[in-house]
Amino acid sequence: MQRALLAVAGIVFAGFGALAEAQTPVTPPPPHVVMALAQHLVKAPDNRALRFRYAQASYQTGRHDAAKYHLRVLMRSSDDPAELGQLRKAYGTVLAASPWSFSLNLSLLPSTNVNKVSSNTTFDTLLGQFMIVNGGQEESGIGLRLGGRLSYATMLDNGLALTFSLAANRNWYPTERFRRYDGEASATLGWQTVAGNTEANPYVTRSFYDTEKTSNATRYGIRLSHEHYLSGHASLTGAFTAEYRDYDQADYLDGGFFRGELSYQGVIADRYKLNIAARAEHSMPERDYLRYTGASLSGEISGSLGTIGTLGLSADFGLRQYEGVFPALTEARRDRFGGVGVSFSSPHLKIWEMTPKLSCRYGQTWSNVALYEYQSTDCAISFERKF
């Protein structure tokens, strides 16, 4: 039966490519057929021929985002180079019909320590003890982030996927020094094989703050990543980011930043998704007491609660060791940080046809420099609408 389905899939794959090349009108399947395909796919998510037929039906009825998603799933799980080539052609067909995408996002950001002030009231130095401004006076508040992203995607003749993106965000907080506008221009070049997916992502970001007390900044960088497919639904991803940070009014913060990451994504008992990541980073601003080397470890597990929704649990821990002696002290700064989090989303919660995602994280930072010790519970209520 499975061989027969794969044979049918091969015919359908070829049919999709022929459809693109011929550019002949095709009668879209009636709505009840598309609905039946979707219902069968829920019951048999590993049926590749059925998934491709649903992607094709989605394309023919103008639901291009759905077609792109299911074709990506098929490319991700393909173990046949010839089949993958046909899938790339099909994906290129959909991209040619709908290369542009636009999304809006809105996040409400409540926090128990919205200003991130120190939990300590005093700071002991070689010159004596000083009072920390607002130290120990944690204030609750709500931040707001509103943004949008415009992307153009195309499939090149050699099978590479190329995407250009422009993004803008407005970040508002009760305290003026945190309010800013962010802009980003980026490009992503991806190559999919039966063994994995490789991407190169150069980018430039620009931040404008509302107050001159906080310096505007530009960041230039590139992120390289490779996801290696393991058996089943598991994969191992390695990534490296190199970035240069340029501050307009704070040259002592200028410098390079580098990060390496190794993560594992898998499924437990065919029900729970597991993500474990280890990171190492090195920041190199001009002032030596601000340079640091850090490492962190994080994990998240999420699973379906049936018709109720999806629940996720996470935890993280890390440390940073700074280089130069901190001013007015006799040693370099050392930080440790950790946190636990929870997230939830439900299809029954809809606002303006959008399903919000709720997440909260309790985090704490311990430091030998009293200025930087704090704790906070930060939450996010996030909405996203794609067009």
Domain termination site, one of 49, 68, 97: 97
Per-residue pLDDT of the chain (387 residues; tens, 9 = 90+): 334 334 434 434 444 554 444 344 467 888 888 888 888 888 888 888 899 999 999 999 888 988 999 999 898 888 888 898 899 899 999 999 999 999 999 999 999 998 888 888 888 888 778 887 877 788 889 999 999 999 999 999 888 999 999 999 999 999 898 999 999 999 999 998 888 999 999 999 999 999 988 999 999 999 999 999 987 789 999 999 999 999 999 999 999 999 999 999 999 887 899 999 999 999 999 999 999 999 999 999 999 887 788 999 999 999 999 999 998 888 999 999 999 999 998 877 777 777 789 999 999 999 999 889 999 999 999 998 888
Of 128, 122, 77, 72, nearest in space to 95 by CA? 72
Type of residue numbered 87: L
SS3 9: helix
Token digits of residue 111: 């926090």
Whether 223 and 79 share a structural domain: no
Indicate the residue among 97, 114, 132 that finishes a domain: 97
Distance CA 360, CA 96 (A): 40
Q: Which two tokens stand for residue 369?
A: 């420099």
- Looking at 97, 116, 149, the residue that finishes a domain is 97
Structural domain including 151 reads 100-386
Are 123 and 254 within one domain? yes
Q: Are both 222 and 336 inside the same structural domain?
A: yes
Same structural domain for residues 142 and 291? Answer: yes
18 contacts: CB under 8 Å, gap ≥ 6: none
**What's residue 123's pLDDT?**
82
pLDDT of residue 20: 44
Indicate which CATH number applies to the domain containing 189: 2.40.160.40
* Residues contacting 57, CB < 8 A, separation 6+: 28, 29, 33, 34, 37
| Confidence (pTM) | 0.85
Residue 312 near residue 302, CB atoms below 8 Å: yes
**Residues 312 and 324 both lie in one domain:** yes
Same domain assignment for residues 306 and 353: yes
Are 278 and 332 in a shared domain? Answer: yes
Q: What is the pLDDT of residues 81-119, one digit of tens each?
A: 889 889 989 999 999 999 999 999 999 999 999 888 888
Read off the pLDDT of residues 28-81 as tens digits, 9 standing for 90 and up: 888 888 888 888 888 888 888 899 999 999 999 888 988 999 999 898 888 888
Q: Count of domains in the chain?
A: 2
